Structure 1
Amino acid sequence: MLTTAGAIAAIAVMAVVTFLTRALPFLLFDRGSSPPKLVLYLGRVLPPAIIAMLIIYCLKDLSFLSLGGWVPQLISVAAVVALHLWKHNNLLSIFGGTILYMVLVQTVFA
């Protein structure tokens, strides 16, 4: 358990880091010039790469020994892909897949 001073210090560090991540792009790049090509490239390729890594992490413990070990996950992944291709909304895709997975695990494959 954190002490009061420890909690205040942790909140202060989080606030400074959050502020710096928001302010640094404005301090590093002039408003008139475009960002470096590397920054533009990373902005284009990192989001899909991170989503792919999250999918692999979520499916790493997939067990094919029983239907309840793999069917809910694959149905939910398919739903996430379908929702994203249909609406192009990350939050809708993530929440829709998560809700579907929880319903499948707790009711259908219980």
Structure 2
Amino acid sequence: MAGNLRPQARKARRAEAKRNDPPFRYCRYHDARDILYEGGAFSFLFFSRTKPPAFLDYLQRYIPPVVMTILVFASYKDIEFTQTPFGIPAAAAGVLTALLHLWKRNVLVSIAGGTAVYMVLIRVL
């Protein structure tokens, strides 16, 4: 089978196999881990004894709702409201997620509940 591939395809296949070798996966994992660790260490070292700047308080307060809004719009962008089931599963799951979060104030419960309702509704409708 490898003899039938063009040289460029064989080269791409070898490069892909090399990227997925365990040492490379190990390096990618540890790079991400190191970045997260250094980010936490940075904030602890610089802001453990002093009050963080007002700009960081502002970001901490307003970035999460902005990111959540963007994620909501991104999740609803490909729904066809003119074809069956008219976006009912996504809308119902979104409303249930919001209601569960307002009621329980638990992210895990609200996301799991909304996902479960969406999965059931896309199979039933």
- TM-score, normalised relative to structure 1: 0.88
AA in 1 matched with 2:91: L
Structure 1 stretch displaced more, 61-70 or 31-40? 61-70
Match of 1:104 in 2: 121
Match of 2:14 in 1: none
Structure 1 distance, partners of 2:29, 2:22, is 11
> Deviation at 1:49?
1.0
Structure 2 distance, partners of 1:49, 1:62, is 21
**Alignment partner of 1:68: what SS?**
coil
Q: After superposition, give the CA deviation of every residue in 1:14-40 in whole Å (9 maximum; x if it has no partner).
A: 2211211221111222x2321110111
Structure 1 stretches of at least 4 aligned residues deviating more than 6 Å after TM superposition: none
Give the one of 73, 79, 96 matched to 1:56. 73
Q: After superposition, give the CA deviation of every residue in 1:73-100 in whole Å (9 maximum; x if it has no partner).
A: 1111110111111111112111111111
Larger Rg: 2
AA in 1 matched with 2:56: V
Number of positions where the alignment pairs a residue of Structure 1 with one of Structure 2: 107
Match of 1:71 in 2: 88
Structure 1 stretch displaced more, 17-26 or 54-63? 17-26
Match of 2:62 in 1: 45
Match of 1:20 in 2: 38
Is there any run of 5+ residues in structure 1 with no aligned partner, and where? none
> Deviation at 1:51?
1.0
Identity within the alignment, %: 31
**Alignment partner of 2:85: what SS?**
helix
Q: Does 1:8 pair with 2:30?
A: no
> Deviation at 1:104?
0.6
Give the one of 97, 104, 108 matched to 1:87. 104
Match of 1:34 in 2: 51
Query: RMSD of aligned C-alpha atoms?
Result: 1.4
Structure 1 distance, partners of 2:42, 2:70, is 27
